[in-house]
């Protein structure tokens, strides 16, 4: 583990300016497919008769919980890491995250043989630190404030020359996440609708670009916890609202939607359906019990929307991206 001070340095936003506003295309997603092939799994699509009966629709679950590191994040991280020129790559990659992106970036970097510097708050759970370290990530601890995380990350980048890989506000990350939807459309032909959860918006944006590029008639929706409804409010008002003090069991969906994702949402996403946490827990339990799949709460949000009264899905064929399966078995909500 290396250490770094938390003294202020170049502002975080400045580091991102170079690529920040570039929206990936379907072609970027096809290139990502080639880049991640042999590294990321082509995950299976599962169905469940009893969930179909309950929904009154045909549901096709794209099992990114069975992806490497247990989440779709490995697609975007691998694409970003493998997009780097050799000279840049040799200096490594860096990010701040205590979640699935941190593990994904650590493993993607290890597979390219380069270092990954992961800035994590000191109060991150030991199990998450152990997971990142297990994938070969070099952990730099900092105070648990956003300012400390950003300044620590800036310092790490300055000292090492590593390339910052943002968890979602990065075109190659978004393009990588979009590969799941390309596979889903091949595996489940004739869909009427695709639904993903939305947190930072990387999965949603990649999915929307892929789906609308390949089959514009397929509707793209997002599902979001009511206690972290920034994507819903942003799409409704036509302007980006940050996530303020989000309260939800969905620990993967606490972040604010990014600017790239918001632009894609405005163009391609029909609606953000809100669901309460108790509906999320019930949907999660259904998938565990009926499909025998371990998923994290964030991954259950789309099914909660489908089973709720707010969205009419009767008779439709719906693709659902089960985003991840990293959950603390010692602290389950049921």
Give the shortest CB-77-to-a second copy separation in angstroms: 17
Cα 127 from chain centre: 20
Q: Is 323 a catalytic residue?
A: no
- Determine if 163 is a binding residue for a second copy (CB under 8 A): no
Does position 238 bind a second copy by CB under 8 A?
A: no
Identified catalytic residue from 62, 73, 128, 212: 73
Q: Which residues of 293-314 are buried (b: 16+ CB within 10 A; e: fewer)?
A: bbbbbbbbbbbbbbbbeebebe
Structural element, H or E, at residue 139? strand 138-142
101: helix, strand or coil = helix
DSSP code of residue 299 = G
Q: How far is the CB of 308 from a second copy (least distance, A)?
A: 21
Binding to a second copy, residues 19-58 (CB under 8 A): 44, 46
Calpha distance 325→48 (Å, rounded): 18
* Candidates 172-180, 259-267, 313-321, 324-332; binding stretch for a second copy (CB under 8 A): 324-332
In the bound state with a second copy, the residue whose beta carbon lies nearer, of 44 and 161, is: 44
Q: Minimum distance between the CB of residue 248 and a second copy, rounded to whole angstroms?
A: 21
Nearest-approach distance from CB 53 to a second copy, in angstroms: 11
Name which of 189 and 330 has its Cβ closer to a second copy: 330
- Give CA–CA dist 142/18, Å, rounded: 26
Given a contact cutoff of 8 angstroms between Cβ atoms, the answer to whether 54 and 307 are in contact is yes
Taking the complex as a whole, how short is the minimal distance between the CB of residue 68 and a second copy, in angstroms? 8
**Phi, psi (5° rounding) for residue 300?**
-90, -5
CA distance 84 to 81: 6
The interface mask with a second copy, positions 78-117, x = CB under 8 A, is ----------------------------------------
**What is the contact mask toward a second copy in residues 277 to 296, using x (rule: CB under 8 A)?**
--------x--xx-xxxxx-
Report how many residues bind a second copy under the rule CB under 8 A: 18
C-beta of residue 198 within 8 angstroms of C-beta of residue 257 = yes
How many Cβ atoms are within 10 Å of 67's Cβ, its own excluded? 24
Active site residue 91: no
Confirm or reject binding of residue 325 to a second copy (CB under 8 A).
Answer: yes
Catalytic residue among 98, 234, 298, 323: 98
User: The tokens of 288 are what?
Assistant: 């565990």
**Contacting residues toward a second copy, per CB under 8 A:** 44, 46, 65-66, 70, 285, 288-289, 291-295, 325, 329-330, 332, 334
**Hey, which residues are catalytic here?**
73, 98
């Amino acid at each position: 583990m290396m250490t770094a001070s938390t003294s202020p340095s170049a502002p975080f936003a400045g580091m991102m300016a170079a690529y920040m506003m570039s929206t990936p295309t379907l072609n970027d997603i096809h290139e990502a497919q080639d880049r991640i092939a042999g590294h990321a799994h082509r995950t299976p699509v599962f169905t469940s008769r009893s969930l179909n009966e309950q929904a009154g629709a045909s549901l096709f679950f794209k099992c990114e919980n069975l992806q490497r590191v247990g989440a779709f994040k490995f697609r975007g991280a691998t694409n970003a890491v493998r997009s780097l020129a050799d000279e840049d790559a040799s200096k490594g990659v860096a990010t701040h995250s205590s979640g699935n992106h941190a593990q994904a970036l650590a493993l993607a970097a290890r597979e390219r043989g380069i270092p990954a510097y992961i800035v994590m708050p000191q109060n991150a759970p030991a199990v998450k630190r152990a997971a990142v370290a297990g994938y070969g990530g070099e952990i730099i601890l900092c105070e648990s404030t956003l300012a400390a995380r950003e300044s620590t990350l800036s310092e790490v980048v300055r000292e090492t020359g590593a390339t910052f890989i943002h968890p979602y506000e990065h075109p190659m990350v978004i393009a990588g996440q979009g590969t799941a939807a390309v596979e889903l459309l091949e595996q489940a032909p004739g869909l009427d609708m695709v639904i993903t959860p939305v947190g930072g918006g990387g999965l949603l944006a990649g999915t929307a670009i892929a789906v609308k590029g390949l089959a514009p008639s397929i509707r793209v929706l997002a599902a979001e916890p009511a206690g972290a409804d920034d994507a819903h409010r942003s799409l409704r008002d036509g302007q980006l609202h940050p996530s303020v003090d989000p309260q939800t069991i969905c620990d993967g969906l606490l972040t604010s939607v990014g600017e790239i994702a918001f632009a894609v949402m405005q163009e391609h996403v029909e609606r953000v359906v809100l669901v309460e946490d108790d509906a999320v827990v019930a949907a999660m339990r259904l998938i565990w019990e009926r499909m025998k799949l371990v998923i994290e709460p964030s991954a259950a949000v789309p099914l909660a929307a489908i089973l709720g009264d707010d969205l009419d899905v009767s008779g439709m064929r719906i693709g659902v991206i089960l985003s991840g399966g990293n959950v603390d078995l010692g602290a389950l909500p049921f």
